[in-house]
């Protein structure tokens, strides 16, 4: 059962409890008023006052419990939204960590230049070779050789774009 449903159930119980206590108080007040109308006084034959004889502790405890139930239900009803946001954020963070872990494992099997290229292409998929050359500070001819090796390994693919080529990751990170 989710928090929202539980909160609604507790809210209903709190309202029923508060209503029951209120009805009991109204019934006692009606009985006291009836005795006052019939006898003309709130004092009984033994001298006790009907107003003082009542147990206000019952009402106070009842009101406190019902208020606590209603407050708890409001918390549960509105906490559901923030809980979903927290879970969503945690799932996104888990996905990011999983991606970083995959990348870390992949990079361990590559040399330094290959690592630079994979990181740069991951940061900007579809990067041109010219931009990649500037970003990785690898000479044009060496970049071409390293990209050929990465293509043979099935890690990247190159597509013609005018006089240059765009580099894309072939693997899902």
pLDDT in tens, 32-56: 888 888 888 888 777 778 777 677 7
Could you report the per-residue pLDDT of 126-173, keeping only the tens digit for each?
Answer: 999 889 899 999 999 999 999 999 999 888 999 988 888 899 988 776
For residue 110, what pLDDT band results from cuts at 50, 70 and 90? confident
Radius of gyration for the alpha carbons in the chain, expressed in angstroms and rounded = 37
Which region among 25-29, 101-105, 136-140 has the lowest average model confidence (pLDDT)?
A: 101-105
56-108 helix and 112-123 helix, angle to the nearest 10 degrees: 130
Nearest 5°: phi and psi at 137? 60, 40
Stretch (H or E) spanning 166: strand 164-169
Whose CA is closest to 17, among 61, 79, 55? 61
- To the question of pTM greater than 0.85 for the whole model, the response is no
Residue 15 clears pLDDT 80, i.e. is over it? yes
Whose CA is closest to 171, among 107, 116, 112? 107
* Alpha-carbon distance values, 116 to 33, 80, 103, 134, 172 (Å): 90, 44, 12, 11, 17
CA distance 138 to 93: 33
Stretch (H or E) spanning 128: strand 127-128
């Amino acid at each position: 059962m989710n928090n929202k449903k539980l909160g609604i159930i507790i809210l209903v119980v709190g309202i029923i409890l508060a209503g029951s206590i209120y009805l009991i108080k109204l019934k006692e007040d009606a009985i006291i008023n009836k005795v006052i109308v019939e006898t003309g006084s709130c004092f009984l034959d033994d001298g006790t006052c009907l107003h003082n004889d009542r147990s206000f502790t019952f009402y106070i405890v009842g009101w406190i419990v019902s208020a606590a139930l209603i407050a708890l239900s409001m918390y549960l009803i509105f906490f559901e939204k923030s809980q979903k946001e927290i879970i969503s954020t945690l799932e996104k963070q888990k996905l990011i960590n999983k991606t970083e872990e995959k990348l870390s494992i992949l990079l361990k099997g590559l040399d330094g230049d290959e690592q630079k290229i994979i990181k740069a292409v991951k940061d900007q998929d579809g990067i041109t070779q010219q931009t990649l050359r500037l970003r990785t500070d690898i000479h044009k001819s060496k970049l071409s050789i390293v990209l050929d090796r990465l293509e043979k390994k099935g890690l990247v693919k190159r597509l013609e774009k005018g006089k240059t080529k765009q580099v894309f990751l072939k693997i899902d990170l």
